[in-house]
Structures are given as C-alpha cells and as structure tokens.
Structure 1
C-alpha cells in the first residue's frame, strides 16, 4: 500500500459523519491494543483559537526537553501536518504504515460497526504514533465539539487539563443552533477531578462551563483569574507580564500577531502555571518564555509579504472574522483589499457585512470544494454592503490583480476559509516571485 492509497482511503470517508457514542472508536482501539491508554494528555476545545493554543502548549513542553505529540486539524497543505512530534511531521512512510494498520484493524470490527469516519481514522493513527514514540505528553485538539469527538475517548485518569478557547456559532448542523447548545458540547471535555482553564467571556457560556466543572469536581479558571501587565502589542506580536495566584512571569513574548493571540497565549500560560502549582508538570519560566517565542502557526495572521503587506488568516466563521477585523487597527495602511470565499454552511452574509465595514474593495473567488458558496450568492450579499466588489473566479488571477492595483502602503487580507488559505499558501511564493 502506498501513501497515496492511504490518502484516498481517508478521503473516501469524508462527509460520512455518523451518530456517535464512542463504541466504534473503542472497538477499533481495542483491536489496536488501546494505544491511547496511559499517555498524558492536554485536551483543547473551543470554536476559535484552539489550534494556536495547542501550538503554544506544544512548544512550551518541547522547550523543557519533553517528547511531545501534537494532534491538530485541519491541515493546510499536507495530511502529515496533523500528527507531529517535537517539530517534525509524521513521515510519509510512517503515515502509510500506520494507515494500513488501522485499515486492517477496522476489518475486524465491520461485522458489528459501520466504517470509521475520516476523523476517527486519523485520530487512531495519532494514538498509535504517540505510543510508538513514547511521548511524555500529548496535546490533543478537538476536531469538532468535544462531548462526542473521537479525541474524547481518552480516560480522565490520563488527562492532565482541559483548555477551552472562545465558543461561538459554528458547525450548527452538528452541535446545535444556539451558543448554549454548542457550549454544552464543548464542555464535554471537562471530566472528573481534572482542572479546566477557559478564555470565554460570554456569560451564558461561562455559566455552562462552570456548572459542568462543578459537577465533575474540576477546578475552573478563566482569564479573570490572571492579570496582564506591561503589555506592548503591535502588528508583529505582543510582550507582557502575567500574574496568576502568587506567581509572576515577566518578559513573555509572542510572535503571532493579534489581540486574540495574546488571549490564547495567556490562557496557555495560566494552564501551565496551574499544572506546575499542582505538581503535575515540571516546567521552568524560561521554557515558558522560549515556547511562546518559538510558536509559529501557519495561516493565522500570517504575513507573507511586506510591500504591499499581505496577511493570510484562517478565520472561517463570524466570530473568527470579528476577531480578525479588530486587529486591523494594529496595522498602518492606506487601502484595504480583502480577497475572500466562504463555505456554504457558514454565516456568509454576516461575515461579508463585517468585512465591508473595513474593506475598500472585496474580491470574491471560487473554492475547489463541494462545500463552497456559489459566487453569485456571495456577490449579491457583498454588494449590499460594499460599493467595490469584484468577482474573479480564479484565485491566482485574483491575487495578481489585487497586487497589481495596490500600492506599497496598502494591506491585502486573504481570509474567510481555511480552504482559501491552504490554496493561497500553495501558490503565493510563485506569484510574489513573478511580481
């Protein structure tokens, strides 16, 4: 079996999400000798910011010298990005080998269960890989929700802490039609006697999280429990001092731009400090500093050109777009061009309205996915709010067009979908070289 065969097998499962009760996942893992049991997990859920938070955690632990596994989704360019250990993606050879092991194991349970989902399959591969490499710690990013997510199969005894980033409206067809229903799903990663840290501010969401923590006898902390001092923030990142309980860590620096990345990093540091306070983690202040400083997360306020400035951001729901636009004030620019496309299961009308409050021109492009919103629909919505709307079906042509009409002190933002950011990263170097 070749690498491409495993990829085709995985992709054949896409869109086949099923009702979920862990029985299928547990049956598969049992055939695989339960590779997930006994590892130490840091579990991260939320609507926006969970990937960045996972990466901050991962890099802090690596800085202390631990062997650390990271499982995130989705990928931007290669499936291998989803499974990493100490800065290295899983190799094509290991991906192929473990994929075949999971395929063979699945055959043993098909008499009783349906085929594994796309996400279950890769999650099982991650558990196998982390077990093989004897990871000291594993950072697991929830795929969707939390309560019924396949990462939530880990036992409470193996979980050190739950991290919950801001919760908002997304994946409503699966998680619920109100933010409270979605919060109930995300709160599913809160388990008995395991502390939880949260960066949520919505009162109804906070109440749900606190109530779940109380029922599980889990200590709950949020950003109201920390104090941020000596803050310096600009378009390149942030520097600050954090105080939590009786401890202070100064000279913290992150190289990810945006107010929301400041929140993500503060949430991470608070969690790490609490783990250290409880004796569950040995970590130095210097490792925390180095981990934050060394964190890079592709496609999140990623600057790919300086003149004109071009920013790629994976914001793909309304709350994410609001968090993106609030950061525009960090940049000095003349005109703002936004190149965007949005999936059909997102609140695209509201997202385009938010973009229109800041954009001098919105350029709509097509996506190579069945989930895309047709350009005629996006055009009709965008033109309600913005005077200057262009439709250029081809992404490469759209980027070239905007670069050609922009000036050195303009800002170009490419955002609205992770598919869009992924496609842009594959072609942007070639475009910039030509221009």
Structure 2
C-alpha cells in the first residue's frame, strides 16, 4: 500500500460519521501498544483560535531543548502538515507505514466496533508518530468539540494543560444548539487537578468554563489574570510586555497579525509561564520570546500579495468573521473587495451581513465540496445588504478580476471557509504570487 492508497482509504471514511466511541479508540490503541501514554500533553479546545494558540504553545516549547510534537487539523495543503515534530512534518513514507499499522489493528477490533472515523484514524497515526519520536511534550488540537473527540483519550496523568479558546456557535448539528451545550462539549477536556487556561471573555461562557474547572479542582486562569503593557499593534504584528502574577515578561513580539492573535499569544504565554511556575517545563524568558516571535500559522491574516494587498484568512464562522473584521482597521486601504464562499452548516447570512459592513465589492465563488452553500443563496442574502455583489464560479477568475480591478492602494480579503483558503493556496503559484 502506497501513500496515495492510504489517503484514498482515509478519505473514504469522511462524511460517514457514526458514533463516537472511546471504547473503540482505546481498544485500537491497546493493539498498537498504547502509543498515547507517557507523553506530556497540552490539550487545546475551542471554536476559534485553537489552531493559532496550539502553534504558539508548540513554538514556545520548541525553542527549548525538548522533543515536541504538534497535532492540528484540518490541513490546508498536505495531510502530513497535521503531524509535526520539531518543525518537521511526518514524511509520506512514515505516514504510510504507520497507517498500515492502524489498518492492521483496526482489523482486530472490527468485529466488536464500527470502523474508525476519518479523524480517529489520523489521530491514531499521530499518536504512533509522537511515541516513535520519543516526544517529551505534545500539543494536541481538538478536532471538534472536546468531550467526545478522539484526542480526549489521553490519560489525566499525562495531561499538563487544558486550554479553552473562545467558544461560539459552530457545528451545532453535532455539539448542540445552545452555547451551553457547545461549552459542555468543549470543556470536556478539562481534567481533575490539571491546569486550565482560557481566553473566553463573554461573561456567560467564562462562567461556564470556570465552573467546570472548579468542579474538576483544576487551577484556572484566564485573560483577566494578565495585563498587556506598552502595546504596539499594526499590520506587521504586535509588540508588548505581559504581566502575570508578579512577573513581567518584557519585549515580546509576534508576527501573526490581528487583535485576536494578540489574545491567542497572551493566553499561550500565560499558560507557559504557569507551567514553568509549577516546574512542569523549564524555559528561559528568552526562549519564550524567541518561540512567540517565530510562530506562524498559515491562512490566518496571511499576506499573499502586495499592491494591491491580498490577505487570506481562515475565519469560517460568525464569531471568526467578527474577529477578522475587527482587525481590518490595522490596514490602510481605499477600497475593499472580499472574495468569499461559506459552508451550508454555518450562519452564512450573519457572516455575509458582517462582510457587507466593510466591503465595497463582494465576490461569491464556488467550492469543490458538497457542504457548500449554494451560490444563489449567498447572492440573495448579500443583495439584502449591498448592491455591488457578483457570482464568479471560478476562484482563479475571481482573484484575477479582483486584482486587475484594484489599485495599489486597495485591499482584497479572501475568507469565509477553510476550504476556500485551501483552494486559494493551491492556486497561488499558478496565478498571482509573483505577479
């Protein structure tokens, strides 16, 4: 079996979501000699910001003298980007060989359980790879929810941190139709006595997260426990000092752009500082500074062209769009064109309405997924709020037209779906990267 055949097998499982069953995952892992045991885990759940926060945490620890793994999803360009150790993606050869091990283990449990889901399969490959590489630490990003997510099989004694990034309405068909139900799923990663940190500022959600931490006797800190000092923020990133407890970490700098990335960075730095206070890792202030500065997460306010400025952002739900548009004021531009497409299970009219408050022109494009919202539906919604709206099915054509009709002082933003980000990245080299 080669890499392409493995990927075909994995993709055949997508959309065939059945029951989530920890017994199935734990049974599989037993046949694989429990590769998830014996690694120190930093576990990250939330609706928005969990990927960027995971990358900040990973990048900081990676600045020290540690073997550190990073498990994230979804991928934008390659399956192998989901599984990383010390800045090296898993190779296609290793991904293939470990997938074959997972398939063989699955054969042994198939009589008692349904087949592994798409995400369970890749998670098992990740656990094998991190164990094989003798990782000291691993940052695990939850796939969806938390309580029933396959990453939540990690044992309490192996977990050193639970992180809850901002929670909002998303994946309601799986997680529940109220914010309380969704928060219940997200906070399901909080474990007895294990440090918990959060960047939720909404009073009700903050209360829910804090109560869950108290219920689990988990030491709890959130953004109200830190102070950002001497902040300088612009289109290139942020510079600031951070005060937590009686300690001030000076001269911090991040290259990731946006107010929301400042929150993600602050949460990560505070978490690392408290882990250091508890002697759960050893990092110098300079290593923390270096890690934060080096952190980069593609497809998040990512600049892919100048003159006109073109930004690519993975905001894919209403709360994410609010965080994106808040950061538009960091840029100076005359006219704004937004290229978008949105999945059907999202609050697409609210997202379109928010875009309409800022866009001089809105271009709706097609996506190569059955989960997309029909273009005519998005057009009808957009026409309620603005007049300069068009459908251009071809993403490449939409980008070319937007660029050709913009001046060097204008800005173009491509956002609304991670599928859109992924498809844009595939086009970058072919269309306008070097234009």
Using the size of structure 2 for normalisation, the TM-score is: 0.99
Equivalent residues in 2 for 1:33-72, closer than 5 Å: 33-72=33-72
Contact persistence 2:28–2:106 (CA under 8 A):
yes
Determine the structure 2 residue equivalent to 1:14.
14
- Runs (4+) of structure 1 exceeding 3 A deviation are none
Determine the structure 2 residue equivalent to 1:247.
247
SS in 2 for 1:161: strand
**C-alpha separation between the residues in 1 aligned to 2:165 and 2:295?**
17
**C-alpha separation between the residues in 2 aligned to 1:331 and 1:101?**
49
Determine the structure 2 residue equivalent to 1:130.
130
Unaligned runs of 5+ in 2: none
Residue by residue, what CA displacement relative to the aligned partner does 1:312-356 show, whole Å, maximum 9, x if unpaired? 000000000000000000000000000000001101100000000
The alpha-carbon deviation at position 20 of structure 1 amounts to: 2.0
Determine the structure 1 residue equivalent to 2:282.
282
Which deviates more from structure 2 when the two are superposed, residues 263-272 or residues 13-22? 13-22
Equivalent residues in 2 for 1:225-264, closer than 5 Å: 225-264=225-264
Residue by residue, what CA displacement relative to the aligned partner does 1:257-287 show, whole Å, maximum 9, x if unpaired? 0000000000000000000011111011111
**C-alpha separation between the residues in 2 aligned to 1:284 and 1:87?**
20
**C-alpha separation between the residues in 2 aligned to 1:263 and 1:96?**
37
Contact persistence 2:342–2:372 (CA under 8 A):
yes
SS in 1 for 2:145: coil
Root-mean-square deviation (Å): 0.8
SS in 1 for 2:109: coil
SS in 2 for 1:385: coil
Residue by residue, what CA displacement relative to the aligned partner does 1:53-102 show, whole Å, maximum 9, x if unpaired? 00001111111121110000000011001000111110000010011110
The alpha-carbon deviation at position 433 of structure 1 amounts to: 5.2
The alpha-carbon deviation at position 45 of structure 1 amounts to: 0.4
Equivalent residues in 2 for 1:50-199, closer than 5 Å: 50-199=50-199
Equivalent residues in 2 for 1:226-375, closer than 5 Å: 226-375=226-375
Which deviates more from structure 2 when the two are superposed, residues 401-410 or residues 199-208? 199-208
Residue by residue, what CA displacement relative to the aligned partner does 1:209-256 show, whole Å, maximum 9, x if unpaired? 111111111011000000110000001100100011111100000000
The alpha-carbon deviation at position 202 of structure 1 amounts to: 1.4
SS in 2 for 1:414: strand
The alpha-carbon deviation at position 403 of structure 1 amounts to: 0.5
Using the size of structure 1 for normalisation, the TM-score is: 0.99
**C-alpha separation between the residues in 2 aligned to 1:201 and 1:217?**
21
The alpha-carbon deviation at position 205 of structure 1 amounts to: 1.1
**C-alpha separation between the residues in 2 aligned to 1:21 and 1:102?**
17
The alpha-carbon deviation at position 434 of structure 1 amounts to: 7.1
Residue by residue, what CA displacement relative to the aligned partner does 1:6-63 show, whole Å, maximum 9, x if unpaired? 0001000001222223011001001101000111100000000000000001111111
Determine the structure 2 residue equivalent to 1:214.
214
